[in-house]
Structure 1
Amino acid sequence: MNYCSGCHAPALLLSNESEHEVATAGDDLVAKSNIGCNACHAVKRINNTIGNGDYVLQRPRSYEHMSSDVEWYRRLFAFKLHVDPDPHKEFFLKPFMTRQNSEFCSSCHKLNSAIRQTQHLSIGGMNNYDSWQKSAFAGERIDAFKHVREHDCADCHMPRMRMDDPAAKRGTVHDHSFKYNILSQAGDDADDPIVQKYKINPIQLDVVAFQNLSKDGAPAPVNYFDEVKVNITPGSAVRMEVLVQSTEVGHDFPGRYSESMETWLEISVRDQQDRMVFQSGAIDDFNRIDEKAHRWGTVYRDRKGNIVTWPHGFSASDISYNHRIQPLTSEMVPYEFKIPENCGSELYISAQIKQRRRQTNEAELLTLKGTIATAVNGMHSGQYVDTHKIIAETEVKVSLPEQRRLNRQDDIPNSGDRYDIWFNYGIALYLKGEWDEAERAFLQAAKLRSTDVHLWLNLARTALDKNDFESMEIYLEKSQSIDPDLNKITYYRALMAEKQGDLDSAVTLLRDIRKDFYADRVFLLKLAEIQMKRNYYKRAGKWYKKILEFAPDDLDAHRGLREVYKNTGNDEGYQNEDKLVRALEKALLHE
């Protein structure tokens, strides 16, 4: 009972009721109190960032007074709080709650289900912390594709709102409802500049390319919008590419309980007579999603092969699907279809990312038949949605005579939007390993805006993967002309030196900038990796241990430390690390 109540019902811990059997505690009023103020504000410290509710909860000194059945006791407490609020503030608002907000949240928003819970499989469950910590939202990250303003959990999930409260700062407090709609907010605060600062548009969609397929099935060169004519005609078979961009989600998308949610992409292409030309991801009359739809999330299965929808994957014995979009990256989704001869002069393309609670058995599906879906923009909403909500959407019109793309307002996207599209498209192609096409997309973005230093760094890393050191040097020189003091330029020069076999120069370059990346796993792993190649095992071990100070369950660091102990003859250390690596591989990689 303690395992679950630590995050789901902390009142049981504070009231010493957590020793009861689950069957009886479920009927207890304390067990049903869910998350109250003390659930977070009575935490004394966070032991680590492994999660699983690993925190120390301290009973407030005034607990008996403020929860007393005697009314004058409660009145006395309220009077004392009004006269001298400092002790109350010092106890309930500790420095780590604001200065290390995301680490604070990780104690309950990160989970590894051990074998003793699932009985069959050690599962790395809900984990929004690690993907945030590795991203540029947590601070400057050496391998980030772009620069963004730092965000912690509270910035997006607890935005500031207007409130007449004694604790308000400049008239605002953090919203504690956790039902903030990130695309729109109703009420008097809708136009408030402080609230507006926290509004984000997390996922964006666009149709970026068409490829004309020849009659013999051989693909023709890809034709990108805004670069060359798309070369699509009535009667031709085409390949369409839809770009999904995670622009401001601070963790993997989808996050939270992705095993109990279904997230998918719905595409429809209609001709000028409003006839359906192509469709993917549609919901049928029984609320079943198209089996061929492109999906994100996790699918757990039990021993009988049934889908497990219980949060955190308890009772799971296998993971049949696991796919997410990392922060500040993009993904390209291809579709193939044939354009009818009599389609007219225009095609209308609609793309939507939808999400709903997972439905598995026939009874649930039949129950939902005929239910009117209330589409709600945004990932979080204050109201309950019976079937699905829309995370992101776009509508594009393609003019066949003009061979160009138009938005709903019949205009071409402005240069800023086009730059972002090309930039993010280059990221998607790079992550697929299509480096020539990625370079082409980044160069197209450079025609629209050549002053973004991260664009040229992305071109440099693309050239590095192609072993094109001459082009890489040109791109790095361009980056340096824009921002001479940017440490990332030194990092990529170190990578080039490493690939050319000059390990000593690579280490020297990395040492010069290491003070700025002490919390960057990628940087520290690269520094340790090069030291391993130089056979400086103890120095490599130093950097692996540095990673484990702030990420004690980092699999790559434990693997590296295991190799250090193996090469230095430390049998005891090797055995301990080998056990940890095997356990983490089961939990994180499901091996």
Structure 2
Amino acid sequence: MRAFRLSRTFVGLLLLLAAVFFFSFLPTTKEVVAATDQETHATARNAYNDKVSAMYNFRYGKERPFLPSNITTDNGQFIDPKDFPTAQYCGHCHQAAHQQWRESAHSNANRVPWYLKNVNLLNDEKGIEFSRHCEGCHDPIATVSGALTQGGPKKRPYDQDGVTCSVCHSVQKVDLRGTGSYVLGVPAVLVDESGNPLHRFVTDAEILQHLDRHSAAVMKPFYRTSEFCAVCHKAALPHELNDYKWQRAMTPYDEWQNSSFAKQSPLPFYKKDSISTCETCHMPREAYNGRDPGAKNGMLASHRWLGANSLIPAYYGFDEQARRIKEFLTADVFNIDIFGIEDNRAPDKLIAPLGSTNFTISPGEKVTVSVVIQNKGAAHSHVPEQRDMYESWVDFSVKDASGKILGESGALQASGDLDPSAHSFTNRLINKNSKLNELHQVWDNRVVAYNNTVQSGRSQLVRYAFTVPNHPGRLTITAIIRYRRFDQRFIDFAMKPHYVQPIIDMVSTTRILTIGNNSPTAPSKSENPEWMRWNNYGIGLLDAQQYAASLHAFEQVAHLRPDYADAYTNIAIANIQWEKYDDALPSLQKSLTLDPNNARALYYLALVQRNKGQLENAIASLQKVAQQFPQSRDAHRELGFSYYQQHRYDAARAEYETVQSIDPDDLAAHYNLAILYRRLGLKDQARVQSAYFADQKDDPLASTYALDYLRLHGEVAQESVPWHVHDLDAHGSTGTQPAITADMLPSQQQP
């Protein structure tokens, strides 16, 4: 019996081996292998993409599913929102960064009620697919998941995370068009031994065992550059949004790139010792003693992104964020200088700088005070970004010895609205009905009536007139730059009537005037040296198109600092703006004698040389500038035009293509490349550039909308005129605003 059993077992083994041998040679047999992580994920992603595509509104075609935003994904397909790890998941280890992020504008980008009210206004007026323009930056997960379509999910838990950790840390590529111009990949918190991203769930323990592979998955060198921030902090209003034409919406990146902070342009009035990027100011490394693995050498990069969003911490009760934002906004962003006084009976006589000279003011005298505001601490304009509904302004007051206000410009009214004739750092967006887009309906915008923002490193001059009281005594004049997140009209719409926001006084200055004789006073700690006070005054005059007065101010700088090369360059700039090219040349030569390789002086010298027909000399000067500042769009643009004048079309083409690499939407580059490509026989490329130019150039008819609006609103019309006075005597009186005439309109501004 036992032998039989052994034999049967042996036979069974033989049959099994024969079967294995036989089936291994069958041509239709395939070895069964478990799918890789990449294959499993690709299959799931394809299935998700097909599901969304079946119901998605491809308004602009299947090849451009996310317009009007410029956002796209690594392969153009939708990404399942479940593929994005939550901020809470990241916060398991990065506790400090998570807590900071939770209080930031990024975290709350798509849940604050004022944003939702505005974007829902767009949805109601045009359709949810148009909101992709906003959400590509405010809610990237909703955008790339295909949720922004008719019938899309109403409950989206990821909205509460806004711009979350796994969004920024899965960006694969960026460009400088803005409006969400980045490529988003499927997030991964770890890569395998070969560097391939792992899409399966990864435990904290795995990450801690392979921190190098975690870093490879979530960090890229360009994350530390300003170009990374530019993808959202630069934006346009394309014709896909407004059914009109391309319009620039905001340019914080370009403003930084042209500022002294970036050190990429020779043209700023002041120089910095070192380069500052967006991250330098908004993600500084701070001392940290906790256990967040992101800390290096006891320092952690701040994830608060401190800026000007003072309403989020007030609304949610983020006390630490509120305190830090106030510190940020009051930390030497501005210098404000009550610079000089003019007697209206002798307007050519300027008493300045106040505090350094004797002067007399008489009872009953009408005087005009010049206030100079210098943007010295921001690498972009104030107010930046969507300035049509943000609100910052000058509150200027005159008080007598008892503290009684004799006159004020910039007070808040009982309704919470700002005095409409106050000097505010804003613009006015006007629609085709010549009305103000006061609820931030950027999709209806046709023209900007005016723009009073102060660019980085520049100064603005604001003038106030009042009559000195007839009784002796002292006067206290005070100028304050105030800021709140939104104007009252917008916040009342977004929240509730008379909603109160925090107001931050960013900087203030006061001077005491004696009715009678005034002696010099000691300068305050915050006061600029005298030469700089004149320099800032000259810059303000230059931007106000007061070229003769600007020239005089810069001559005072040269007198006080004869070794300061830029003083002579500034004199030349005033003359060039005045189209007095011959008068500019000696000043530029003096500047270059003091500093032979001064790129700023060489740039303006080139403009003079070209005006005199000295093209070769102009090109040589511009080449020196471009060598020192290879990212200077101005140097390359002027070089391109100079080569074009010499019919050196290949050289001109190269320069304008360089300009486009710095700013893809440079209008002069579009125009000139359209011509150059055509002359070089590149007709297809010429047509592309010509189409860009046609879409992006100003609409010559749109200015009529602004003019109609300004004619009806005398209380704000003077702000569109570069040289005007706020009359405190007439303030608040009926019918005191002057009639708007043709010579006051923006298109007719005269020096």
- Give the TM-score normalised by structure 2: 0.66
1:589 and 1:533 map into 2 onto residues whose CA distance is 31
Displacement after TM superposition at 1:130 (Å): 1.6
Displacement after TM superposition at 1:290 (Å): 1.4
Q: Which residue of 2 aligns with 1:93?
A: 219
Q: Which residue of 2 aligns with 1:429?
A: 541
Q: Which residue of 2 aligns with 1:539?
A: 651
2:294 and 2:696 map into 1 onto residues whose CA distance is 43
Say yes or no: does 1:444 pair with 2:551: no
Q: Mark the runs of 5 or more structure 2 residues left unpaired by the alignment.
A: 1-128, 193-199, 311-318, 704-751
Say yes or no: does 1:209 pair with 2:340: yes
Q: Which residue of 2 aligns with 1:176?
A: 303
Paired residues in the alignment total 551
TM-aligned CA distance change 1:121 to 1:453, over 3 Å: same
Say yes or no: does 1:582 pair with 2:711: no
Partner of 1:286: helix, strand, or coil? coil
Say yes or no: does 1:39 pair with 2:167: yes
Q: Which residue of 1 aligns with 2:282?
A: 157
2:471 and 2:491 map into 1 onto residues whose CA distance is 40
Q: Deviations over 1:235-284 (max 9, x none)?
A: 11112111111112111221122122122222111122323232112111
Say yes or no: does 1:501 pair with 2:608: no
TM-aligned CA distance change 1:474 to 1:387, over 3 Å: closer
Aligned partner of 1:219 among 347, 362, 372: 347
Partner of 2:336: helix, strand, or coil? strand
1:301 and 1:414 map into 2 onto residues whose CA distance is 39
Aligned partner of 2:238 among 73, 94, 114: 114
Matches within 5 A, 1:373-388: 386-388=501-503
Q: Return the letter of the residue paired with 2:182.
A: Y
Matches within 5 A, 1:283-322: 283-302=412-431, 307-310=436-439, 313-322=442-451
Displacement after TM superposition at 1:7 (Å): 1.6
Q: Deviations over 1:410-439 (max 9, x none)?
A: 756688443332221121122233333223
Q: Which residue of 1 aligns with 2:673?
A: 561
Q: Which residue of 1 aligns with 2:158?
A: 30
Q: Mark the runs of 5 or more structure 1 residues left unpaired by the alignment.
A: 66-72, 374-385
Q: Return the letter of the residue paired with 1:579.
A: A
1:306 and 1:399 map into 2 onto residues whose CA distance is 45
Say yes or no: does 1:519 pair with 2:654: no
Q: Which residue of 1 aligns with 2:17?
A: none
Q: 1:126–1:312: 8 Å Cα contact kept in structure 2?
A: no
Q: Which residue of 2 aligns with 1:249?
A: 378
TM-aligned CA distance change 1:527 to 1:438, over 3 Å: same
Q: 1:111–1:312: 8 Å Cα contact kept in structure 2?
A: no
Matches within 5 A, 1:286-435: 286-302=415-431, 307-310=436-439, 313-342=442-471, 344-360=473-489, 386-403=501-518, 411=523, 416-435=528-547
Q: Deviations over 1:388-421 (max 9, x none)?
A: 3323322222234443575xxx756688443332
Q: 1:111–1:125: 8 Å Cα contact kept in structure 2?
A: yes
Partner of 1:260: helix, strand, or coil? coil
Displacement after TM superposition at 1:36 (Å): 0.9
TM-aligned CA distance change 1:229 to 1:571, over 3 Å: farther
Displacement after TM superposition at 1:40 (Å): 0.7
Q: 2:177–2:234: 8 Å Cα contact kept in structure 1?
A: yes
Q: Deviations over 1:525-568 (max 9, x none)?
A: 11122223333333222211111122111112212223435666
Aligned partner of 2:182 among 55, 60, 74: 55
Partner of 1:248: helix, strand, or coil? coil
Displacement after TM superposition at 1:104 (Å): 0.8
Q: 1:426–1:437: 8 Å Cα contact kept in structure 2?
A: yes
Q: Which residue of 1 aligns with 2:138?
A: 8
2:285 and 2:236 map into 1 onto residues whose CA distance is 31
Say yes or no: does 1:146 pair with 2:270: yes
1:568 and 1:471 map into 2 onto residues whose CA distance is 37
2:662 and 2:262 map into 1 onto residues whose CA distance is 13
Partner of 1:360: helix, strand, or coil? helix
1:575 and 1:243 map into 2 onto residues whose CA distance is 47
Q: Deviations over 1:154-180 (max 9, x none)?
A: 111112212233332331121112236
Q: Return the letter of the residue paired with 2:299.
A: T
Q: Return the letter of the residue paired with 2:210.
A: D
Q: Which moved more, 1:35-44 or 1:550-559?
A: 550-559
Q: Which residue of 2 aligns with 1:480?
A: 593
1:170 and 1:367 map into 2 onto residues whose CA distance is 47
Q: Which moved more, 1:310-319 or 1:160-169?
A: 310-319
Q: Deviations over 1:291-310 (max 9, x none)?
A: 21112223334556654355
Q: Which residue of 2 aligns with 1:376?
A: none
Aligned partner of 2:258 among 134, 146, 150: 134
Q: Which residue of 1 aligns with 2:228?
A: 104
Q: Return the letter of the residue paired with 2:609.
A: A
Displacement after TM superposition at 1:231 (Å): 4.5
TM-aligned CA distance change 1:427 to 1:488, over 3 Å: same
Q: Return the letter of the residue paired with 2:140.
A: P
Displacement after TM superposition at 1:116 (Å): 2.7
Displacement after TM superposition at 1:523 (Å): 0.8
Partner of 2:510: helix, strand, or coil? strand
TM-aligned CA distance change 1:133 to 1:310, over 3 Å: farther
1:333 and 1:60 map into 2 onto residues whose CA distance is 50
2:330 and 2:276 map into 1 onto residues whose CA distance is 12
Q: Which residue of 2 aligns with 1:379?
A: none
1:586 and 1:437 map into 2 onto residues whose CA distance is 31
Greater percentage in strand: 1
TM-aligned CA distance change 1:292 to 1:198, over 3 Å: closer
1:476 and 1:28 map into 2 onto residues whose CA distance is 64
Q: Return the letter of the residue paired with 1:397.
A: I
Q: 2:233–2:253: 8 Å Cα contact kept in structure 1?
A: yes
2:587 and 2:181 map into 1 onto residues whose CA distance is 49
Q: Deviations over 1:338-391 (max 9, x none)?
A: 11112514443333333341222896699665x7x6xxxxxxxxxxxx153323
Q: 2:373–2:461: 8 Å Cα contact kept in structure 1?
A: yes
Query: Identity of aligned pairs, percent?
Result: 22
1:102 and 1:588 map into 2 onto residues whose CA distance is 34
Displacement after TM superposition at 1:204 (Å): 2.1
Q: 1:494–1:507: 8 Å Cα contact kept in structure 2?
A: yes
Q: Which residue of 1 aligns with 2:21?
A: none
- Give the TM-score normalised by structure 1: 0.82
2:657 and 2:504 map into 1 onto residues whose CA distance is 44
2:524 and 2:276 map into 1 onto residues whose CA distance is 32
Q: 2:245–2:696: 8 Å Cα contact kept in structure 1?
A: no
Say yes or no: does 1:166 pair with 2:293: yes
Q: Which residue of 2 aligns with 1:266?
A: 395
Q: Return the letter of the residue paired with 1:157.
A: H
